[in-house]
Amino acid sequence: MSGGGGMDQLDGLTLPPPGDPVRLADFEALALERLPPGSAAYYSGAANDEVTLRDNTAAFDRWRFVPRVGVDIRGRQTGVEVLGHRWRSPFMVAPMALHQLADPEGEVAVARACAARGLVFCLSTVGSATIEEVAETGAACWFQLYFLDDQGRNRELLDRAAAAGYQAIVLTMDAAILGRRERDIRTGFARPPEVRYANIQRGALRRGDTYGDDEFKLSNTWDDLAWVIGHTRLPVIVKGVLHPADAVQALELGAAAVDVSNHGGRQLDRSIAAIDALAAVVDAVAGRAPVLFDSGIRRGTDVLTALALGARGVMLGRPVLWSLAWGGEAGVGRALDLLAAEVELALGLAGLRSPDEASRDLLARVPG
Ligand SMILES: Cc1cc2nc3c(=O)[nH]c(=O)nc-3n(C[C@H](O)[C@H](O)[C@H](O)COP(=O)(O)O)c2cc1C
């Protein structure tokens, strides 16, 4: 089928050179060919038996669309408004550790790809580029905080993010202690010394493994959220919510938004697939704040499913790292363009003129 003139909007879906990825999931195998086994395992792996990792994507397959016809979809637009900012597409890049394992330019390359496309980039506390280096790319940035033991250091990170022009703080509340990632154990993964925790590394981290737990507060409480909200003028998004009551609690304490996520299956294995937790959280939040979503987004149709269930926008995770390993900044650009084009195509095929029109009557759940 040719869409004629309409197809020129879908740059990301034009024919790629033979052998190149044609969907986000294709980037994984291509990245794994290039990455050292330890880094490959660190990026792709998850906790224990990886039940939740698999279920995060399988759960999308339990939804079907009931598209509408007869709508004039020419000139449809894909932007959404989140916390007072316009996003060109309804997705952003999720906070993830150590992009420099994939490419020497790391987070800076990804942020540049975001800047060129009007997409938000979220830098992790355990990122391998500094807050300021990422800001210099001109991307709209959010900073993800892992609460550190030392309040002064937390304040310093919050202040640096605000001073560098970041738009928001993401407080991740599902990862104060880490799930047991058995692929990392099998490969004996250790962070190479040339890849640094650019924002938190003081001296040597005592453990040569994924994180330096000695610097992190090994529990996250609602008091910590209240503290963060009290120590920044930026909006605070709570990441890692699955239970509706936690979403309500976060908003009552002053969170600006919540992100429904199970950390890509890397924390409590056999946690509910994130997409299966979304509707109840949206209902509990009842329009008081935007609800974001991540964990398992691989397709434009996944984005549309999350929007229809009530998410305002989603975060893209692992495919960003895989595309970075495959092709650096340009590779990430390919992945982002592909997803943006898939979203636009899915919206049009579903008979929607914008993401705001997605609602639950677009969806039917299949048994199983
Ligand atoms: C290699 C890797 C590192 C991650 N590091 C962080 C992090 O530093 N902070 C955080 O809040 N989430 C982190 N996450 C979780 C992501 O933000 C996101 O929740 C997850 O990747 C979503 O799952 P998906 O990538 O399978 O879609 C990480 C995920 C991966 C795969």
- pLDDT tens digits, 124-169: 999 999 999 999 999 999 999 999 999 999 999 999 999 999 999 9
301 within some domain: yes
pLDDT by residue (tens digit) across 58-108? 999 999 999 999 999 999 999 999 999 999 999 999 999 999 999 999 999
What DSSP assignment string belongs to 235-297? -EEEEEE-SHHHHHHHHHTT-SEEEE--GGGTSSTTPPPHHHHHHHHHHHHTTSS-EEE-SS-
C-alpha of residue 94 to centroid of ligand 1, in Å: 6
Q: Which domain covers residue 238, as residue numbers?
A: 20-365
126 touches ligand 1 (CB under 6 Å): yes
Say yes or no to pLDDT of 3 above 50: no
Give the pLDDT of residue 132: 98
Specify if 178 maps to a domain. yes
From 85, 99, 231, 263, the catalytic residue: 263
Per-residue burial over 271-306, b = 16 or more CB atoms within 10 Å of its CB, e = otherwise: bbbbbbbbbbbbebbeeebbbbbbbbbbbbbbbbbb
Residue 263 in any domain: the answer is: yes
Q: How confident is the model at residue 11 (pLDDT cuts 50, 70, 90)?
A: low
Active site (annotated) includes residue 263: yes
Output the DSSP codes for 85-119. EEESSSEEEPP-S-GGGT-TTHHHHHHHHHHTTT-
**Is 7 a domain residue?**
no
Q: What is the pLDDT of residue 207?
A: 44
- Of 44, 216, 263, the residue with max ligand 1 atoms within 8 A of its CB, to mutate for a pocket test, comes to 263
Domain count, the chain: 1
**pLDDT for the residue 10:** 59
At residue 212 the predicted structure's pLDDT band, cuts being 50, 70 and 90, is very low
Mean pLDDT of the chain: 93
Q: What would the two tokens of residue 250 be?
A: 């976060």
Residue 96 beta carbon below 6 angstroms from any ligand 1 atom: yes
Burial 18-36 (b: 16+ CB within 10 A, else e): eeebeebebbbebbbeebe
Distance, CA of 179 to CA of 241 (rounded, Å)? 16
CATH number at residue 204: 3.20.20.70
pLDDT tens, 310-362? 999 999 999 999 999 999 999 999 999 999 999 999 999 999 999 999 999 99
Q: Is 8 within the bounds of a domain?
A: no
Atom of ligand 1 nearest to the CA of 240: 19
Strands 291-293 vs 313-316: parallel, antiparallel or unpaired: parallel
6 falls within a domain: no
Does residue 247 surpass a pLDDT of 70?
A: yes
Q: Please check whether residue 1 lies inside any domain of the structure.
A: no
Q: Is the pLDDT of residue 210 over 50?
A: no
Q: How confident is the model at residue 14 (pLDDT cuts 50, 70, 90)?
A: confident
Q: Is residue 288 part of a domain?
A: yes
